[in-house]
Amino acid sequence: NAGVMQNPRHLVRRRGQEARLRCSPMKGHSHVYWYRQLPEEGLKFMVYLQKENIIDESGMPKERFSAEFPKEGPSILRIQQVVRGDSAAYFCASSPRTGGYQETQYFGPGTRLLVL
């Protein structure tokens, strides 16, 4: 049973380019969460998605950032016109959401974005 998969693992972009990060949740999981980790910091919640729905994007910057989780395919976190401050590790997590007031979120290996 493969875990949460993210690609690419490392991504280098120049300022002004677009970054596209992909996340495939664990098999059977229909809920995806994106977090960002700046150097020497803990993870910060960005967005929570279900298939074809954004449930909570309160942690995502209002501009340049967008996320989707289509009916088919991986979840995508898209950063347009990247700036140096976007350099960070971006982690995706998934959960089955079968019930209960919280479930464990299983994290992927992360994508490390470096903006030159």
Q: Which residues bind another protein (CB under 8 A)?
A: 4, 31, 33, 35, 40-45, 48, 55-56, 58-59, 91, 93, 95, 101-102, 104-110, 112
Q: Which residue has the tokens 């992360």?
A: 110
List of residues 6+ apart from 40 with CB closer than 8 A: none
Query: Nearer to another protein by C-beta: 79 or 111?
Result: 111
Side chain identity at residue 67, one-letter code: A
Angle in degrees, CA 74, 32, 67, rounded to 5: 65
Nearest-approach distance from CB 50 to another protein, in angstroms: 11
CB atoms within 10 A of CB 17: 14
Query: Nearer to another protein by C-beta: 32 or 82?
Result: 32
Query: Nearer to another protein by C-beta: 37 or 66?
Result: 37
CB atoms within 10 A of CB 9: 10
Nearest-approach distance from CB 79 to another protein, in angstroms: 19
Query: Nearer to another protein by C-beta: 28 or 72?
Result: 28
Nearest-approach distance from CB 37 to another protein, in angstroms: 8
Please answer whether residues 30 and 50 qualify as being in contact, where contact means their C-beta atoms are separated by less than 8 angstroms.
Answer: yes
Nearest-approach distance from CB 32 to another protein, in angstroms: 11
